[in-house]
C-alpha cells in the first residue's frame, strides 16, 4: 500500500548497543512522507532520538607527563523536523528543532565539560536550485537560534552555496 500513488511512505530504523563501552547507547529515527501530484511535490515529517556516551577523545588524555580522565553522563539529542519539497520549481523549505541534554563540549580552558541543562536549537531553512545549461547553483539559507545560556555558538543566519557542472557520459548512463 505504501508504494501506491498518493499513499504515505514510512521509514523507521534503530541502532542499539548492548555490550562494550557503548552499551546502552541507541539511535532511533522515523519519517513519514507523502507525495502529491505528478510533479513530485512532497511533504515529510520525522523525528530522531540519540543517546550516546562521550567520545574517547573527550574522556581520556595521556602524554608523557600527564594522564587525565573525565566521566560524563550520556548525551541526548532529539530532533523533530518537517519539510516540503517542490521539485517543479526546485525549491525546498522546512523546519527542525534539536533538543540537547547533557551537552559535552570543550570549555574555554581547553578541558572537556558537560552542560547538564537541556536546551533547544530551532532552525528554519530554505533551499533553491538554479539551473543554466549544465551549471547548477544550489543555495541553502538557515535561520537558527539557541535557548538559554548554552555553551554552543551557532550563527543566526547560515548559508551554503554550491556551484557545479553536470554532463552525461556513456549515453547519459552516468552523470
> For 97-111, what is each residue's pLDDT tens digit?
999 999 998 888 888
* Nearest-angstrom CA–CA distance, 46 and 86: 18
Question: pLDDT at position 3, please?
Answer: 63
pTM of the model: 0.82
Rounded mean pLDDT of 85-107?
Answer: 93
Question: pLDDT at position 43, please?
Answer: 94
Percent of the chain exceeding pLDDT 70 equals 97
* Nearest-angstrom CA–CA distance, 119 and 148: 7
Which distant-in-sequence residues (6+ apart) come within 8 Å of 58 by Cβ? 70, 72, 104, 106, 112
Least confident stretch, 1-5, 14-18, 24-28, 159-163: 1-5
pLDDT at 35 over 80: yes
| Tens-place pLDDT, residues 42-64 | 999 999 999 999 888 888 888 88
Q: Is 20 left (phi over 0), alpha (psi -120 to 50) or beta?
A: left
pLDDT, the chain, mean: 90
Q: 2 falls in which pLDDT band (50, 70, 90)?
A: low
Q: Residue 58 is inside which H or E element, if any?
A: helix 56-59
Q: Where are the beta strands (DSSP E) in 102-169?
A: 103-106, 112-115, 119-132, 135-144, 157-165
Rounded mean pLDDT of 21-31?
Answer: 92
| Tens-place pLDDT, residues 117-154 | 999 999 999 999 999 998 999 999 999 998 778 888 89
Amino acid at each position: 500500500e505504501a508504494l501506491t500513488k498518493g499513499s504515505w511512505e514510512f521509514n523507521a530504523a534503530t541502532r542499539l548497543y548492548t555490550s562494550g563501552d557503548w552499551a546502552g547507547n541507541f539511535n532511533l529515527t522515523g519519517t513519514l512522507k507523502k507525495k502529491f501530484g505528478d510533479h513530485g511535490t512532497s511533504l515529510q515529517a520525522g523525528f530522531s532520538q540519540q543517546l550516546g556516551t562521550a567520545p574517547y577523545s573527550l574522556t581520556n588524555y595521556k602524554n608523557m607527563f600527564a594522564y587525565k580522565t573525565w566521566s560524563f553522563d550520556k548525551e541526548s539529542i532529539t530532533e523533530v523536523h518537517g519539510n516540503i519539497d517542490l521539485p517543479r520549481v526546485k525549491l525546498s523549505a522546512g523546519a527542525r528543532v534539536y533538543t540537547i541534554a547533557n551537552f559535552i563540549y570543550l570549555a574555554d580552558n581547553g578541558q572537556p565539560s558537560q552542560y547538564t541543562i537541556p536546551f533547544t536549537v530551532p532552525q528554519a531553512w530554505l533551499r533553491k536550485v538554479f539551473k543554466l545549461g549544465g551549471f547548477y547553483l544550489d543555495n541553502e539559507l538557515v535561520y537558527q537560534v539557541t535557548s538559554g545560556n548554552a555553551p554552543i555558538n551557532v550563527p543566526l543566519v547560515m548559508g551554503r552555496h554550491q556551484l557545479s557542472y553536470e554532463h552525461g557520459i556513456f549515453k547519459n548512463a552516468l552523470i
